[in-house]
Amino acid sequence: MKSHYNISARGAAGGSMSLFGHIDIVTLMLYVALVLVGWLSITSASFDSESAEIFSFSHNYMKQLMWIGISSVVAVVLLLIDRRYFHMFAYPAYVVGILLLLACLALGREVNGAKAWFEFGGIRVQPVEFAKIATALMMARVMSSYSFNIKRFSDLVKVAAVILIPLAIIVKQNDTGSGLVLGSFLFVMYREGLSKYIYFPAIFTVFLFIVSFIFKPETIFLTLLVLFAGYTLLKTGAWKEHVQFISIVLLAIMLLSSFTPLSGYAAIMIVCSIAAVVLVWMAIKSRALMLLWPILMYVYAMLFVPTCDFLFTKLEPHQQNRILTFVGMKSDPTGIDYNVNQSLIAIGSGDLLGKGFLQGTQIRYDYVPEKHTDFIFCTVGEEWGFLGALVVVALYISLILRLMRMGERIGEPFGRVYCYSVAAILLFHVWVNIGMTIGLMPVMGIPLPLMSYGGSSLVAFTILIMIAIRLDASTTDDNIYSL
């Protein structure tokens, strides 16, 4: 089976002692580049020109420098560890990770409403960062086990359990944002052959969920009806029938709402339900089974949207507010919206080339909240402009693609699943974090990997990436599983 994975076109290499010779320099350089850019940004965000001692460890950039040093040590140590130990430690690491999360839930410190931190003498550590590593290793271990087949239901349940156990604890910690990171393992599972039919409904459901808050149900049903009619029209080319069908539907809606005491909403619901049944019947009758799945999605939407609306009314008001702010239906100019606005202003005022190192006014004068942690990307956007942002995004995307490529060339499932897991976690973080700073995503307390200020995050991502590099470096060590 190993021989199938011939993407890994790396020549035979020496023994396990010449490790550094096989280290993927590109990945390492990308890592170093991002850490450096991150440190420069933190320096800019926390530099205080009025402070006398610029090298004092009271400054965030000096603290971060210390964390970079610690990370370097961790990196060297990890690169020296034999890959077999990672395979071996997957189970214990996962158990320890879960225990840490539970301990945190019981004994942790609450910051910003999330009970997700341990504090040791002024240093805060977020166990969820390490739970990610443990889960990634565990995923790799489970999915690389002999005769594992993701299409088998029992195996899928195993994988789901690996993800859902930490996820449940993290959500319980009220740290939903970090919990959603684990959702990025869906990315890995797709690579490992999970059916695409699981993804379509999932994406469709998320889409409907968001849309159901923004538009009225009537609008959604009519729009979907027209979309699906348009889709079948393209598939069948039966113009006349489609025009007739749409006309009858619209006419029926108008008649019902005008001449009966029914409201417009009820009229649309009734007519669209009948139309759906007619469509299903016609699809079956005409053996046009390829039309069946869009019709089913339509029926699903008709059931989901009202249910969603109904369930929403059962929520607590503050939960409702959070969801409404999330989908942009409610503005909160002093809270979340204010942060995003200031972030947009900072990045938007960067223009093409930016204002220059230490010259960003919004950063310098504290207009951007959390400017050295979650909103560190604002410093890049404001001081280095679109070009700087482009470089940073390119660095991340290169790193992610590189990790995926490493996963492919490793040629065995443990390394591949692990590399993909790291890539997926990075992708999720980059998308959510940068997306948040430019108003594409809701604000979730998710750091920008390697760049955001914070020791536990930097060390955790260092460990994640270094393990991937280490696994990749010893690809040619064929007999690792034959111990």
Partner 1 sequence: MNQVQKGYRRYLQLRGVVLLVAIVLLGRLFYVQIIEDKYDDMATANIIRRPEIEYPMRGEVLDRNGEYLVRNRVCYDVMVVTSNIPKSGFDTLRLAHILEITPERLASQLKKARRAPRAPFLITGYLSQEAKLIFDEGNFEGFYTRFRTAREYPRKIGGNLLGYVSEVTEEQVKKWEYYKPGDYIGVGGVESAYETLLRGEKGVSYRIYDTHGALKGSYFDGELDVLPVKGSQLVSTIDGRLQEFAEELMVGKVGAVVAIEPSTGEILVMVSSPTYNPDLMVGRQRNNNYAAMLHDQRNPQFNRAVKAKYPPGSTFKLVQGLIGLQEGVLRPSDRHPCSMGYSYGGRKMKCHEHRSPVDLRDAVATSCNAYFCYVFKDIITNPKYGSVRSGVERWNEYVESFGFGRKLDSDFYGEGKGFVPTPEYYDRKYNGRWNYGSVLSCAIGQGEMGCTPLQMANLAAIVANRGYYYPPHIIKHIEGQDSIDARFYERHYTLVDSINFVPIVEGMWRSVNVWGTSGGARLEGWNVCGKTGTAENPNGKDHSTFLSFAPKDNPRIAISVYVEHGGFGSAIAVPIASLIEELYLTDTITRPQLIERVKEFTPNYAYYEKMQRRHDAERAKKSN
In angstroms, give the least distance from the CB of 434 to partner 1.
5
- Residues 116-155 as x/- pattern, contact with partner 1 by CB under 8 A: ----------------------------------------
- 62 and 39 in contact (C-beta within 8 Å)? no
In angstroms, give the least distance from the CB of 234 to partner 1.
23
Q: Does 185 bind partner 1 (CB under 8 A)?
A: no
Residue 144's contacts (CB-CB under 8 Å, 6 or more residues apart) are 412, 413, 414, 416, 417
Burial per residue of 98-110, b for 16 or more beta-carbon CB atoms within 10 angstroms, e otherwise: bebbbebbeebee
Residue 85's contacts (CB-CB under 8 Å, 6 or more residues apart) are none
* Residue carrying the six token digits 């996820």: 167
Intra-chain end-to-end CA distance of the chain, in Å? 18
Interface residue with partner 1, options 47, 89, 148, 190 (CB under 8 A): 190
Q: Does 434 bind partner 1 (CB under 8 A)?
A: yes
Instruction: Name the nearest CA neighbour of 163 among 188, 144, 145.
Output: 188
Interface residue with partner 1, options 386, 412, 477, 480 (CB under 8 A): 386
Q: Does 427 bind partner 1 (CB under 8 A)?
A: yes
Q: Does 47 bind partner 1 (CB under 8 A)?
A: no
Interface residue with partner 1, options 2, 7, 80, 286 (CB under 8 A): 7
> Can you tell me the distance from the alpha carbon of 436 to that of 447, in angstroms, rounded to the nearest whole number?
11
Sign of the dihedral through C-alpha 203, 206, 208, 211: negative
Q: Residue count of the chain, please give it.
A: 483
In angstroms, give the least distance from the CB of 447 to partner 1.
16
Residue count, binding to partner 1 (CB under 8 A)? 46
Amino acid at 181: V
Task: Tally Cβ neighbours within 10 Å of residue 91.
Answer: 14
Both tokens of 238, joined, read 């039966």
Which own/partner pairs from 427-431 qualify as long-range (CB within 8 Å, at least 24 positions apart)? Answer: 427/184, 427/187, 427/400, 428/180, 428/181, 428/183, 428/184, 428/187, 429/181, 430/393, 430/396, 430/397, 430/400
Q: Does 105 bind partner 1 (CB under 8 A)?
A: no
Tell me how far CA of residue 141 lies from CA of 92, 101, 127, 415, in angstroms. Answer: 11, 20, 21, 9
Q: Does 393 bind partner 1 (CB under 8 A)?
A: yes
Beta strands 109-111; 123-125: pairing state:
unpaired
> Applying CB under 8 A, which part among 51-59, 87-95, 98-106, 378-386 lies near partner 1?
378-386
In angstroms, give the least distance from the CB of 315 to partner 1.
29
Q: Does 212 bind partner 1 (CB under 8 A)?
A: no
In angstroms, give the least distance from the CB of 217 to partner 1.
28
Q: Within positions 315 to 334, which residues make up the interface with partner 1, using CB under 8 A?
A: none
In angstroms, give the least distance from the CB of 329 to partner 1.
20
Burial per residue of 251-273, b for 16 or more beta-carbon CB atoms within 10 angstroms, e otherwise: ebbeebbeeeebeeeebbbbbbe
In angstroms, give the least distance from the CB of 299 to partner 1.
28
Q: Does 443 bind partner 1 (CB under 8 A)?
A: no
> Applying CB under 8 A, which part among 10-18, 270-278, 313-321, 438-446 lies near partner 1?
438-446
Q: Does 224 bind partner 1 (CB under 8 A)?
A: no
Interface residue with partner 1, options 37, 404, 444, 471 (CB under 8 A): 404
> Can you tell me the distance from the alpha carbon of 428 to that of 372, in angstroms, rounded to the nearest whole number?
20
Q: Within positions 346 to 375, which residues make up the interface with partner 1, using CB under 8 A?
A: 346-352, 361-362, 364-367
71 vs 433, which CB is nearer to partner 1?
433
Q: Does 435 bind partner 1 (CB under 8 A)?
A: yes
Interface residue with partner 1, options 22, 59, 132, 191 (CB under 8 A): 191
Interface residue with partner 1, options 100, 389, 444, 466 (CB under 8 A): 389
Beta bridge partners of 114: 111
In angstroms, give the least distance from the CB of 367 to partner 1.
5
Q: Does 160 bind partner 1 (CB under 8 A)?
A: no
DSSP H or E run through 461 = helix 455-473
Positions in the binding site for partner 1 (CB under 8 A): 4-7, 187, 190-191, 193, 342, 344-352, 361-362, 364-367, 381, 385-386, 389-390, 393-394, 397, 400-401, 404, 408, 420, 423, 427, 430-431, 434-435, 438-440
